Structure 1
Amino acid sequence: MAGGGTLRIVADVPDSGAQHLVDALVELGVEVAFGLPGVHNLPIWDAIDSTGIRLIGVRHEQAAGYAADGYARATGKLGVAIVTTGPGAANTLGAVGEAMASASPVLVIATDIASTLRRPGMVRGVLHESSDQRALFAPVTKAALTVESAGEIAPAVLRAARVSTAPQSGPVYLGIPTDFLVQRAARLPEQEGTERIPALDVTAFDRARTTLTGAARPLIWAGGGALRAGAGPVVGALAERLAAPIVTTFSARGLVPPDHPCLAPNPVHAPEVGELWDEADVVLAVGTDFDGLMTQNWRMPRPPTLIAVNIDAADAAKNYRPDVTLVGDAKGVVADLVDGMPQRPGLPRLTERLDRIEARVRRRVRQEEPQAAEFLAALQETLPDGAVLVSDMCVAGYWIGGFHRVPGPRRLAYPMGWGTLGFGFPAALGVAASRVGRAVCVSGDGGFLYCCGELATAAQENLPVTVVVVDDGGYGMLRFDQSQAGLPHRGVDLTTPNFVALARSFGVYADRVEGFGRAFRRLLREFSRADEPTVLVVEAALRPPLNTSPRWYRREVAS
């Protein structure tokens, strides 16, 4: 039923709204989408069946949003989630907020109640009705759109995809009244796009080049915008010309190869690495907004001179005011800076210093948390080539985000935009569906329970995903916070299932080990090379790393 009336499912009708929708997805080159069927969106499922697009059915709409995000992060392409009206759409909001905070190009296509049943300014009690479904998405999307006729559907899909993928990328909501899906209508023409990259300010560019050439201790701070623009090679080349260290944010991990001579060890939250920032006289910030998580809530002092490369001048200036702002595509702007930049002396000396800093940081990890050192080494030595590591919000995940040597761009998906617990496993399903490499998810026991029903999705679709569940009996990060404050543990110790039995009940092979020693390495090597989904449960409790806020070393707020 749809609002008290019978929904007609029109199969393969050339001019139906549903057919226009899937035609647009085909034009966009969409190969995989994620969704959950509902009475209002069944015509989409029917129309998409003959297109060759793989529509993966999940068990909760939030998982569709996360999976679309994971797919987008792994491929750089548009991630698509297709959900139904009202609660189905609303269930995606947590995932959409994470995509917005992490600038992931995600398109959420949701049905809405039939246009014929809507009354302006009134909620009548139609099935799944909300007063303004589009407005639910406005705070957590780059754009929220609703079509007004069946003929508008295809151009609206193309426009939404264009807006979502244009720098700075982000999620877009597209609402479609359900009756439009079964209506026949002529397809309206697509409106011309308005997304344009502005011309580079020549005066500002010359000033930036002169400042960098004259810098005594330059540093490059590269963020997610640099990675999404594919700017890694030119950032690496510029760093070598300047003999400048490269510091990467969480979302830029893997921007340049781990053995690049200018790459500083992670994370900047370690005092040994933070020294590089403190002593820099000029910082070149590429594709970053200097968020609180990376800057220890802006306790890092503003550098004496700051040059920002960003697609959005306001984004570049919202936390630290730049002296020079170069508005444009990160790859193109940095490539222009490289061109003609003289080679500064000191590159071998810089590389030697960075090696010494890394040795100090690794020694600190071994001394403070030997289990974490063992865990990180196991990941480094056992994961297969091409694997994409997907981290959830958990203590083991924070160690990955801070210290794992990411082998290349888009080889780590880390939810440090909104910081949404439960991101890891469903995002890994999206990575696995992309077939770019084996998805290896690291989750805590608490976060995995958010979405454990998606084991059914992994099994049904036979997705190449390995889930490592680090079981410490609850919310380990929150338990640490309470202990640090001298408070009793309340709400953080959890009753959890037998995860091995749970996974096996879905037909997913699973096993359990204690700690991150030889048995963990052996099984992780085996499971991450399997031709089926697998779950590896590890009984271990880790102390949080330096990149978590209770352990930040900077105490005074920077002026």
Structure 2
Amino acid sequence: MPVVSHAKPKSGADRLADALGELGVQVAFGLPGVHNLPIWEALADTGIQLIGVRHEQTAAYAADGYARATGKLGVAIVTTGPGAANTLAAVGEAQASGSPVLVVATDIPSTLRRPGMVRGVLHETSDQAALFAPLTKAQYTAGGTGEIAGTALTAARLALRPQSGPVYLGIPTDFLSATAQRVPDTPDRTPVAEPLDLGRARELFERAERPLIWAGGGALRAGAGAVIGELAEKLAAPVLTTFAARGLLPPEHPCLAPNSVHAPEVGALWDEADLVLGVGTDFDGLMTQNWLMPQPPTLVTVNVDAADAAKNYQPDLNLVGDARTVVTALLGELPPKEGLDKLTARLRRMSAAVRRRIREDEPQAADFLGTLEEVLPEDTILVSDMCIAGYWIGGFHRIPAPRKLAYPMGWGTLGFGFPAAIGSAAAGAGRAVCITGDGGFLYGCGDLATAAQENLPVTVVVVEDGGYGMLRYDQTHSGLPHRGVDLVGPDFVALGKSFGIRAERVKGFGRAFRRKLGAFIQADEPNLMVVEAAMRPPLNTSPRWYRKER
């Protein structure tokens, strides 16, 4: 007799949940809406934790923060029209920073759509996927219930594939409730790199007298730190890391140059180099002071995208491929150079000179950075917003390991810090410490409710200087009056307590700050500290770049 199955037929939402489970997703971030409720129902029957946030922008930022902390796929689940549109700033930051984020957004029912016409359906846009076209690697829209799983897998794999980045997946809401058999997946075809000219690269390295390694975010995302460190020791070459590559090498590595290249002492390494090896980088304007750093005499690049490697400085040799794989191959028969001890001694003197410069330039910043280095456990994930304190961290804090700094440079999106910290805290990779200004924190302070409801291990440090401190400095620097930068703000301590979160206030970055931060990061629950302080911005902010147009 034929076997009769009594299993409940799977809906489109169930197919999506199956696909996310197949991808190994453990945490997603979302905000419910009338169109996406079936997804919430389907995920309730899985082991995937769906953390409800208070704004769709937070969902995408949190997915980004999660991806940066783990190297895994970050998932944001939002509803149709304005819900999807609310994620765009965060998606732009994920794209600029190479974060693998999958944005799953519902769309209006397919049965109500009319080609070339906006009829006025609730949340309707003429082309929702097109909103994401400039900000994502690709945009997919499921063509039927049976296509949801396969399309989700294809989109997610593309987001994760180097160069990683965000991908949009749209699902007409009627497909979520309908039942259908799963359509077979599209095979994932990873591009095959062309054969590498390793012999020529080794010849260039052997001839170089003053080699330099410049490592970017692609090197960190590829897990290339160990092999880059080994190559640097073989070449007796200093290693400069970009904002996206902070933590690639441990602070005690003998070849790691002090941050940041915007300090003249460190920038001299670039000027002196007769060969630069750029690994996983596009030499962007923020790192090169808008390309005022001169073209190196010889430039060798390692990048999965040849065009990306060559768009700002023309390489003499471009090795196309995964950073870890290519650098490992380069190590093969490369003879070691002399001078490692001499280089290490020079870098130590350089580091001391940079620290003296910071102490003389902005004593509060020296106190701030010193406290972070002394108090924070090594597994702490620092998440900085676009604020003066955040710029000091991005430029000059010693990051102990990969994926322990999330910094929006990047696209430079104000308001990134706190919602990204929610995602980092949910990753289970260490306590998240968010450094934000009073202006940027107000972008997403409502998600204190999320931190409290989920009891997330996050400490928020709000540096309160009465408004947009960086913009105030820009106006002062340009001899302009202050307009739009001096802001009325809430009592942040009372605000935190209103959400049931422990909150306290200190003045400046002295002993009280050090004592309270040490206590706050030992807590199991979320907390908030307000620091009354105004600092001068560091050398890595554009008004203070030392290289000038000639």
1:179 counterpart residue number: 174
State how 1:38-57 maps to structure 2 within 5 Å.
Answer: 38-57=33-52
State how 1:123-522 maps to structure 2 within 5 Å.
Answer: 123-201=118-196, 204-522=197-515
Deviation of 1:39 (Å): 0.3
Q: Secondary structure at the match of 1:512?
A: strand
User: Partner amino acid for 1:325?
Assistant: N
1:9 counterpart residue number: none
Deviation of 1:556 (Å): 2.3
Deviation of 1:13 (Å): 4.9
CA–CA distance in structure 2, aligned partners of residues 415 and 194 of structure 1: 31
Q: Which one of the candidate residues 53, 65, 71 is aligned to 1:58?
A: 53
Deviation of 1:466 (Å): 0.2
Q: Secondary structure at the match of 2:16?
A: helix
Aligned residues: 544
Deviation of 1:240 (Å): 0.1
Equivalent pair of 1:392/1:447 in contact (CA under 8 Å): yes
State how 1:86-97 maps to structure 2 within 5 Å.
Answer: 86-97=81-92
User: Partner amino acid for 1:307?
Assistant: V
Deviations 1:54-102 (A, max 9, x none): 0000000000000000000000000000000000000000000000000
CA–CA distance in structure 2, aligned partners of residues 250 and 75 of structure 1: 17
1:551 counterpart residue number: 544
**Overall identity of the aligned pairs, in %:** 72
1:6 counterpart residue number: none
Q: Which one of the candidate residues 6, 11, 18 is aligned to 2:13?
A: 18
CA–CA distance in structure 1, aligned partners of residues 47 and 500 of structure 2: 27
Deviation of 1:213 (Å): 1.3
User: Partner amino acid for 1:195?
Assistant: T
CA–CA distance in structure 2, aligned partners of residues 479 and 24 of structure 1: 48
The range that moved more, 222-231 or 204-213, is: 204-213
The range that moved more, 235-244 or 376-385, is: 376-385
Under a length normalisation based on structure 1, what TM-score does the superposition of the two structures give? 0.97
CA–CA distance in structure 2, aligned partners of residues 61 and 41 of structure 1: 13
Equivalent pair of 1:442/1:468 in contact (CA under 8 Å): yes
Q: Which one of the candidate residues 108, 115, 123 is aligned to 2:110?
A: 115
Deviations 1:95-117 (A, max 9, x none): 00000000000000000000000
Q: Secondary structure at the match of 2:132?
A: helix
CA–CA distance in structure 1, aligned partners of residues 208 and 220 of structure 2: 25
CA–CA distance in structure 2, aligned partners of residues 166 and 359 of structure 1: 40
Deviations 1:105-138 (A, max 9, x none): 0000000000000000000000000000000000
User: Partner amino acid for 1:555?
Assistant: K
Deviations 1:311-351 (A, max 9, x none): 00000000001000000000010011112211100000000
2:519 counterpart residue number: 526
Deviations 1:408-430 (A, max 9, x none): 00000000011000000000000
Determine if the alignment matches structure 1 residue 79 to structure 2 residue 74. Answer: yes
CA–CA distance in structure 1, aligned partners of residues 198 and 281 of structure 2: 18
Deviations 1:19-68 (A, max 9, x none): 00000001111000000000000000000001010000000000000000
Q: Which one of the candidate residues 95, 99, 111 is aligned to 1:100?
A: 95
Equivalent pair of 1:255/1:409 in contact (CA under 8 Å): yes
Deviations 1:198-236 (A, max 9, x none): 1432xx221111101110000000000000000000000
CA–CA distance in structure 2, aligned partners of residues 304 and 529 of structure 1: 50
CA–CA distance in structure 2, aligned partners of residues 197 and 91 of structure 1: 37
CA–CA distance in structure 1, aligned partners of residues 512 and 192 of structure 2: 52
User: Partner amino acid for 1:290?
Assistant: F
CA–CA distance in structure 2, aligned partners of residues 325 and 207 of structure 1: 11
CA–CA distance in structure 2, aligned partners of residues 264 and 449 of structure 1: 36
Under a length normalisation based on structure 2, what TM-score does the superposition of the two structures give? 0.98
Deviation of 1:384 (Å): 1.9
CA–CA distance in structure 2, aligned partners of residues 176 and 399 of structure 1: 42
User: Partner amino acid for 1:82?
Assistant: I
Gaps in structure 1 of 5+ consecutive residues: 1-11
C-alpha RMSD of the superposition: 0.8
2:24 counterpart residue number: 29
Equivalent pair of 1:13/1:19 in contact (CA under 8 Å): no
CA–CA distance in structure 2, aligned partners of residues 339 and 507 of structure 1: 57
